[in-house]
Structure 1
Amino acid sequence: MQSTPESDSPAPAERPARPPLRPLTPVEGRVLGVLVEKQHTVPDTYPLSLNALASGCNQKTARAPVMNVSEAEILEAIDGLKGLSLVFEGSSSRVPRFEHNMQRVLAVPSQSVALLAMLLLRGPQTAAELRLNTARLHGFADISSVEGFLDELADRAPPFVVRLPRAPGARENRWMHLLSGEVSAAAAAEATVRATDGATAALGELEQLRAEQQALTEKVAKLQGLVEHMAAQLGIPADEFLD
């Protein structure tokens, strides 16, 4: 039975061959991924204005690689995506707003759209990483369900994703999209390093925030103790200062 947005069972692999899309440019891929992501994470502002789209494309977090693209470059990418019917412009607003048409054009379920979008935004990832990173786009039941949809995407003609060779020291294979063309071994290795470095940097930032939070907690505790001590000396209830 074919998959629906409510199901975590991938569709059958056997499908008629489809006319191949031309490879997307890096900016086109980023624009498409951002539109899918923001449709789920900020639905109140979707479809996106050019300004919101630029902010999403140039985010410093949850992006690999980090980009710094101009609105002119984004408009050029939008024109290219319009030509592929992957993006269209809404007509109900005075400010131009853009939305994706990825699910219909690629003829894949919403779960697969979520996986492709995250690969477009973050580069090569393991099935476990994809399950975590797509949580706000779709809640996969388990890693095996993610792998099922990835296998279905890989069995397309031509395929949408590829399982990369396992990197030295890695316990799991990473996956990469093929919407921008074939992935060479060198490019895959470089992208994997970028993704790993990005994850390491994110963990470092998280640890730094935790350390700062702990330091603030300790300072507050010291201040509270000082207030209680001063209140006791003055014969004033400390609760009047601490409430």
Structure 2
Amino acid sequence: MDVELNPIEQRVLGCLIEKEMSTPEYYPLTLNALVNACNQKSNRHPVMELDTATVEHTLYELRMEHKLAVEVSVSGSRVMKYRHNLSELGCFSLSQMAILCELLIRGPQTPGDLRAHSSRLHALTDSNEVELILDELKNHEDGCFVVQLPRQPGKRERRWAHLFGGEPEIVEEQPEIVAGAVDVQAGPSRIERIQTLEYEVGDLRQEVA
């Protein structure tokens, strides 16, 4: 994928996709509505506090540089409105758009999390369906749009991330600590400490007797 968006551009694009799917009656969005959408406290990670000038400049970059947003004039409205132009990158189904949207506005997630979050935008059956959609986005005819991240320590499911900001920074999985392993330089072992305690208890019993 040739496009590489900064975090604010990702947020604005994600919000345009979200509002088209969740509240189509209020779409396209005015600038003020888009600012409010970007700064929502719910369904966002991280939470942002963007001002109007920042969102307006970001829209300009999305429109002029990336061709991923469009300014439209709506009959009966005196203000300009904005919609996304994700079709510039490829043809996506509703389920694929829902997954991409949630990755854009929430960041990396497991298939289970994506199913729970994306279902408000488009009905998804289970995590298996989400994994199929992720595989479609990874092997999309117009490019690779998602990547699976290494498993986090203590986690069973691996997370997925979008590639609208380029390759995500990969944090290497930390090696597991083997239970019972002892650093000989760190002091007496657990067995040695137990033996010492047993000797001390024996001495105390003899004194009491």
Class of the TM-score when normalised by the shorter of the 2 chains: 0.7 to 0.9
Provide the rounded CA distance (Å) in 1 between the counterparts of 2:60 and 2:143: 24
Among 144, 148, 151, the residue aligned to 2:135? 151
SS for the counterpart of 1:99 is: strand
Amino acid at match of 1:36: I
Mapped pair 1:76 → 2:61 = no
User: TM-score, normalising length from structure 1?
Assistant: 0.65
Matched residue, 1:165: 150
Kindly state the Cα deviation for residue 115 of structure 1 after the two structures are TM-superposed: 0.5
Provide the rounded CA distance (Å) in 2 between the counterparts of 1:106 and 1:33: 16
The answer to whether the Cα contact below 8 Å between 2:67 and 2:88 also exists between their aligned partners in 1 is no
SS for the counterpart of 1:119 is: helix
Q: Deviations over 1:19-48 (max 9, x none)?
A: x33201111110111111111222221111
Q: Deviations over 1:139-190 (max 9, x none)?
A: 012211111110111124641111111101101011000101111114x99x
Mapped pair 1:22 → 2:13 = no
Kindly state the Cα deviation for residue 104 of structure 1 after the two structures are TM-superposed: 5.1
Mapped pair 1:88 → 2:73 = no
Of residues 162-171 and 33-42 in structure 1, the stretch that sits farther from structure 2 once superposed is: 33-42
User: TM-score, normalising length from structure 2?
Assistant: 0.76
Matched residue, 2:42: 61
SS for the counterpart of 1:98 is: strand
Kindly state the Cα deviation for residue 138 of structure 1 after the two structures are TM-superposed: 0.7
The answer to whether the Cα contact below 8 Å between 1:103 and 1:110 also exists between their aligned partners in 2 is no
- Higher Rg: 2
Provide the rounded CA distance (Å) in 2 between the counterparts of 1:185 and 1:45: 38
Mapped pair 1:119 → 2:103 = yes
Matched residue, 2:32: 51
Provide the rounded CA distance (Å) in 2 between the counterparts of 1:112 and 1:68: 28
Mapped pair 1:180 → 2:162 = no
Considering only aligned residues, what root-mean-square deviation do their CA atoms show, in Å?
1.7
Provide the rounded CA distance (Å) in 2 between the counterparts of 1:106 and 1:50: 26
The answer for unaligned runs of 5 or more in structure 2 is 174-209
SS for the counterpart of 2:18 is: helix
The answer for unaligned runs of 5 or more in structure 1 is 1-19, 190-243
Q: Identity of counterpart residues, as a percentage?
A: 43
Amino acid at match of 1:21: D
